[in-house]
Every structure is written in C-alpha cells, then in structure tokens.
Amino acid sequence: MKSSVIVFPGSNCDRDIATALEKMQFKNQMVWHKETSLPKSDLIVIPGGFSYGDYLRSGAIAGKSIIIDEVIKAANSGCLILGICNGFQILTETGLLKGTLLRNRDLKFINRDVNIKVMNNETKFTSKYKLNEILKINIAHNEGNFFTDSKHRDQLKKENLVAFKYCDEKGNISEGSNPNGSIDNIAGIYNSKKNILGMMPHPERMIDQIISNTDGVNLFTSLMN
C-alpha cells in the first residue's frame, strides 16, 4: 500500500501519521502543498495541525491550495482519503465532505482521550473493528463541533455514513459524553462512496502501548487489507 501525507505550513501531526503509516508497513511519501502532482497513492492523508494558523476559518486556506486539486481528482477516481482533525476541517472546506466544524461548544481547546463508538464497520477504514466497538482515542482541537444541515443529517443516517460517535466508557451516546457539542455526537463521517473519512480524533496517536494504547491500530490494518 502506498500512502501520501500532504503537508501544509502549520501542519503538526504530519510526522506522527507518517510514523504510524510506516509502522503499519505503508510505503509513505510526504507531499508539500505547493506540489502540482501526487505520487501514485492508494491512500492520501490530510494530517492534523493548524494549517495557515487557522486564518479565516480552520482549513479554509489549505482547502484552496495547489495540491488540493489533485487530491480532489484522486478522491473522485476512488482513492482513499483520510482527514484527521485539521485534515477533517480541510476536507469540509474543499467540499469533499459536507458539513463544517464550528468552535467547541464550551469555547475551550480540548486535549484529552475520549471514547468513541464504531458506527459502521463495513468500510475500508474500519473493517477490522467490531460494530459498536468502543475505542479510547485522543482529541485535541478548538473547532471540532460538527455541524451540518438537516438534509445532510438525514443522509448521514439513511446511508450509514457516520463513522464514529462520541460516547462514554459503556458506549452510551448522550449529551454528557459529547465533548464539543457536535450534532448527534458525530466524531467522524464518510462521503457517500465511503472512500473519504474525516474524523476529529487522532488514531495515529493510539498505535503504541508505551505512549497511549493501541485502539487506533485497526484503522490502519483495515486500510492495509
């Protein structure tokens, strides 16, 4: 499996995701945002960080960068795309994913490990997880409050496009287990073809027992399949 990680000024999780991909045996390349072509890739990752200092809106400037045209082309031809945190924000700004990420409900930057539930395990990103499996994954964001219109909200439900929802340790999905105010506790979504996943939690931080846990590993092993 070949992967590419797109790097913007202000990306700061690009090395983390590269390390995770290499550990999982991906052949990874880093791609600077000014590049006009992409190396042949089975997976493109838009990493977390604060691209362009979150100017205008989180992800807005990166979403219009030169390489993004190539990412959109690749996405439309079926390439797998994973956007994590700022990467998710960038994907919504490109239009590859619908909806947007607002300021957290309580106006605070949140950096802590939260529980999320696997809502669909019949995708290329999650096939190694069990349905409704509860994962503990780190979140670190200021704008993670997922919002979308009612039409898209219905589509997400109907087509089973919600990837993960925030929950408590027992798997209860409630306002109390919602860290940032996201509509329906949504932590990650797919596009309708399910080749694009955007998620606020950081699976690349959960690949090693020594520093955290290994709850993120199966996302990468699913992709390897």
Partner 1 sequence: MKFSVIVTLKKDVLDPQGKVVLNTLVNLGIDNLKSIRQGKYFEIDVDEVDQVKAEKQINQMCEKLLVNLIIENYKISKIK
Q: Which of 36, 107, 112, 170 binds partner 1 (CB under 8 A)?
A: 107
Q: Does 4 bind partner 1 (CB under 8 A)?
A: no
- Rg (C-alpha) for the chain, rounded Å, is 16
CB 196 within 8 A of CB 96: yes
DSSP bridge partners of 118: 164
93 is catalytic: no
CB of residue 161 vs partner 1: minimum separation in angstroms?
Answer: 16
CB of 14 to partner 1, least distance (A): 24
Nearer to partner 1, 128 or 152 (CB): 152
Strand partners, 40: none
Helix (H, G, I), strand (E, B) or coil at 96: coil
Contact set for partner 1, span 86-105 (CB under 8 A): 93, 98-100, 102-105
Catalytic residue from among 70, 93, 143, 204: 204
The CB density around residue 2, as the number of other CB atoms within 10 Å, is 14
CB 52 within 8 A of CB 10: yes
42 vs 184, beta carbon nearer partner 1: 184
Query: What DSSP state is assigned to residue 24?
Result: T
Closest to partner 1 by CB, 57 vs 124, is 57
What is the DSSP-derived secondary structure letter of residue 176? G
Interface characters, 151-180, with partner 1 (x: CB under 8 A)? ------------------------------
Q: Which is nearer to partner 1, 62 or 135 (CB)?
A: 62
Rounded distance between C-alpha atoms, residue 161 and residue 195, angstroms:
11
Q: How far apart are CA 17 and CA 4, in angstroms?
A: 10
Residue 141 annotated in active site: no
- Nearest-angstrom CA–CA distance, 37 and 193: 24
Altogether, the residues listed in the chain come to a count of 225
User: Nearer to partner 1 by C-beta: 62 or 84?
Assistant: 62
Binding mask 112-151 for partner 1 (x = CB under 8 A): -----------------------------------xxx--
Secondary element (H or E) of residue 68: helix 66-76
Annotated catalytic residue 204: yes
Catalytic one among 85, 93, 141, 143? Answer: 85
Residues that bind partner 1 (CB under 8 A): 56-57, 60, 64, 93, 98-100, 102-107, 147-149, 181
The catalytic residue positions are 85, 202, 204
